Structure 1
Amino acid sequence: MVLKVFLNHCAEDKALVTPYFNKLKALGFEPWIDKRILPGQDWDEVIQHAFNAADVYLIFMTPRSVSKRGYVQREISDALDKQRYNLPGDIGLIPILLEDCEVPVKILRSHQYIRLPEGWQELVESLELAAQQRSIAIHTGVEMDPFRMFLREEKHRWEGLPGYEVSMRYPHVESSRVPNTAVELNEFFASLRLNSLLNARKARINQEEEHFSSWAGDPDWKPANSFHVFISPNLANQFILSFSVHEDGMFAGAAHGFMWVETHNFMIIDDQLIKISFDDFLSEPHSAYTSITALVRERVAKEYAGRFDGELSSDDLIRVREALPSDGTIFRNFIITPIGVTFLYPQGELFGHAAGAFGADLSFNDLRPWLKPGGPHTFAQHASAISWDPGIDDEVHE
């Protein structure tokens, strides 16, 4: 599995970045830089396609790039958003300091930068670790008591006008202690997998030959809707499970890509899965909504202010309140951790597409006044957070 590395930089720094592109390529990585765009190609779509396919993002920082608006900043925000769905410890974004400059707060808050050229070996070691994280032997699996989880990866492709390219990564579960639960989980994952594939196949009955016919003569670029789907375990033990499903991609000819997430949480009772919602954590859900919504608004407002490096205006605060109503709908997508829950809001759900994705971490201590005695949180506190990202390729041509 070759590690795909996206090199984010501004046009003025291309001469500084290109030597690192060449060095990474010589080491066996698969770097991408926009000099690979061919004449006549839709450069916005090509960049977005490469961005969505990348495993790791290198953010090259200089006084010019950090002050430049437009695609450079959008790519940085999008790359940071994608890290939200990575597993703990996964390397997905590496800031690179090419010249002394003020590192953006949104980067400095969550990532340590590497200074080049003196940090070159550190960068290579980080990329090698990222590649290792994505290539744990599939035949061994990973022990997640009481389960052993194996990664399944598929790639499906169909050529048309447009065609589609789908890559999917999902777990296969085995367990001698809760065998029926393992069967039910595999059936559930299979249904998610099939649903994604069925949606991609809609391209077959929505052909636009006139619109895409001009692309037909270019052997290096095919009009295709691209979808990248992965199902990631976040927390597990013999009583409780938490999974997230993340999808990103781009429709052929679209102005920008998309990112989407949904979560699935379960209790295990008598070797059977039971789907749980956030309401199941609370003694009196409807009476708790207003207070918990206020906590979520506070977290999101803080992230919003930090992302745009400024205090929130009264209009911004109104936008936050309107985007996060207190009717309980904002608690739909959440993952469980041993210390609390994280509510997830994908790109475009709360604010405009350019604002990116948002999240709100609430600890069980924050939620204590409203938690149900003996509720799911009591089992989560004894569960293990999961850091897992093995990899295998299995390509299918349809």
Structure 2
Amino acid sequence: MHDQDPPQVFLSYAKPDQHRVTPFFESLEKSGFNVWYDCKRLKPGQNWDFEIKRALDKASIVIAFLSENSINRRGYAQREIKIALDKLSEKLIDDIYLIPVMLDDGILIPDQLQGIQCISANASNCMIGVVEALNLQLNKLGVETQKLQVKEELSWSFQTKKEICDGLPGYETELQFIRLQSTKYPALYEAGEYIQGRLLESLFSSRSSMLDQAPSQYNFGQEKYRRTNTYDAHCSDPVIKGRVLTIQYAIHWYGAGAAHPNIDFCTYSFVMAPLILIESLEQIFITSSEAFLNVQNSVRNKLMAIKLGSPEEEHQVCLDSNGIALGTQNWSDFNSFIFKEDCIEFLFAPYQVAAYACGPQFAEVPYIELIEFIRPEYQSALEIEHIAWQKKRATKLVDD
């Protein structure tokens, strides 16, 4: 088990530009950054699709190298930029998450990158500009985390456990445990211990494959990743709303012999005083049946409003309504949720509400849409009583 690695910088580029990107990698590594560069990090026999998506999801900052090669061809560089832009939409307006570097001057910048300051690789101060942007954001990440910890009178750290065993099939499991401490909420450490126990269940499940070998299905002549069950669970910093704490895990997994890897989400929410696990969103509502219809309707409408494809494309596609309906039928379909500042965010893995190629989907439901159904105890814990008061006042004004 080892402590958390330093924040990761992910390099996104088109393969024909590798010789132009490598000097950036070498310079950034010499400057002390933890850089993920596929041609240096990927090992023979690894599932490159799985490893790239996993690294991109863990990245604190993405440097996207733009050129005639990456702009004019569809491929992994385009998909990486799309994922980075999706994550960028969750950041504060002054956050630096995506740094575009133009390898070729005069190229047409995609519409979705127009609002982001680009750096020309041909500029004499290019590397200085990249390093300054990286240091600014990484320092800000540390400062913001420290401020939040001081404000909420709690702290957290991470530890990683990784276990690999070759076999037919074998397994590779990597788990990130969160350690919580608080003088204000002395029982909070139990939340981290509870999550660790749940994560260890996945490790026990992985180990069980060693007692269930299948040489008729797998053999040592296959690429190792194709005969290896891979499971990687890592978490983001806690999200705190009032006295409710939510911890989100992204789980990248690959079943031996499967056509492709996948990603899933798991969230854990706790009222911090007294320490109570919110096992299901259903738990916070007065009348769960009425609340469910409102949650379901709101989420379905928001998912139907999602447009696939970049804005400059002539025909953008909506998610399939049947897929959305099938993936939002019961409370169990809404098990991955985060209590954010103004809303509850729902997370849906690929295949749940859309095709695999569409990727994961997200929908936010403002508290004001659900406030009348939320139990007073949870209104207090979330510190959203004022929303209930505002809604009652607005209703009264309309009636008058």
Pairing 1:23–2:30 present: no
TM-superposed CA distance for 1:340, in Å, is: 1.5
TM-superposed CA distance for 1:188, in Å, is: 1.0
The aligned residue for residue 168 of structure 1 is 175
Q: Deviations over 1:69-99 (max 9, x none)?
A: 2433343445556678999998654443434
TM-superposed CA distance for 1:380, in Å, is: 2.0
TM-score, normalised via structure 1 length: 0.73
What is the aligned-residue RMSD (CA, Å)?
4.2
Q: Deviations over 1:130-152 (max 9, x none)?
A: 6557889x9x9973666522313
2:376 to 374, 377, 384: 374
Unpaired runs of 5+ in structure 1? 384-398
Report if the CA contact (8 A) 2:179-2:189 is conserved.
no
The 1:213–1:91 alpha-carbon spacing in structure 2 relative to 1, beyond 3 Å, is: farther
Pairing 1:143–2:155 present: no
State the distance in 2 between where 1:60 and 1:212 align. 39
Once the two structures are overlaid, the 10-residue window that deviates more, 162-171 or 258-267, is 162-171
Pairing 1:46–2:48 present: yes
Report 1:81-230 matches (<5 A).
93-99=98-104, 100-103=107-110, 105=112, 112-117=116-121, 118=123, 119-128=126-135, 143=149, 147-161=153-167, 163-179=170-186, 181-207=187-213, 211=218, 213-214=220-221, 225-230=229-234
Q: Which has the higher contact order (CA 8 A, sep 6+)?
A: 1
The 1:171–1:4 alpha-carbon spacing in structure 2 relative to 1, beyond 3 Å, is: closer
The aligned residue for residue 265 of structure 2 is 261
TM-superposed CA distance for 1:207, in Å, is: 4.8
Identity, % of aligned pairs? 21
Tell me the secondary structure at the aligned position of residue 166 of structure 1: strand
The aligned residue for residue 396 of structure 1 is none
The aligned residue for residue 66 of structure 1 is 71
Report if the CA contact (8 A) 2:161-2:176 is conserved.
no
Report if the CA contact (8 A) 1:163-1:225 is conserved.
yes
State the distance in 2 between where 1:144 and 1:189 align. 23
Amino acid at match of 1:112: I
Unpaired runs of 5+ in structure 2? 386-400
The aligned residue for residue 279 of structure 1 is 282
State the distance in 1 between where 2:6 and 2:246 align. 29
Q: Deviations over 1:237-259 (max 9, x none)?
A: 5x422222222244566543321
Tell me the secondary structure at the aligned position of residue 68 of structure 1: coil
State the distance in 2 between where 1:35 and 1:231 align. 26
Amino acid at match of 2:246: S
State the distance in 2 between where 1:93 and 1:249 align. 25
State the distance in 1 between where 2:48 and 2:349 align. 23
State the distance in 1 between where 2:184 and 2:51 align. 43
Q: Deviations over 1:297-332 (max 9, x none)?
A: 23223333466856666x845345434545444432
TM-superposed CA distance for 1:103, in Å, is: 1.9
State the distance in 1 between where 2:93 and 2:157 align. 17
State the distance in 1 between where 2:99 and 2:330 align. 39
Pairing 1:338–2:345 present: no
Tell me the secondary structure at the aligned position of residue 192 of structure 1: helix
The aligned residue for residue 394 of structure 1 is none
Tell me the secondary structure at the aligned position of residue 149 of structure 2: strand
Number of aligned pairs? 368
State the distance in 1 between where 2:220 and 2:139 align. 41
Report if the CA contact (8 A) 1:37-1:46 is conserved.
no
State the distance in 1 between where 2:269 and 2:338 align. 7
State the distance in 2 between where 1:363 and 1:212 align. 51
Q: Deviations over 1:177-211 (max 9, x none)?
A: 433x3253233122123123223324433556794
Pairing 1:365–2:368 present: yes
TM-superposed CA distance for 1:165, in Å, is: 3.9
The 1:150–1:142 alpha-carbon spacing in structure 2 relative to 1, beyond 3 Å, is: farther
Report 1:217-256 matches (<5 A).
225-232=229-236, 233-235=238-240, 237=242, 239-251=243-255, 254-256=258-260
TM-score, normalised via structure 2 length: 0.73
The aligned residue for residue 298 of structure 1 is 301
The aligned residue for residue 389 of structure 1 is none
Once the two structures are overlaid, the 10-residue window that deviates more, 82-91 or 161-170, is 82-91
Tell me the secondary structure at the aligned position of residue 18 of structure 1: helix
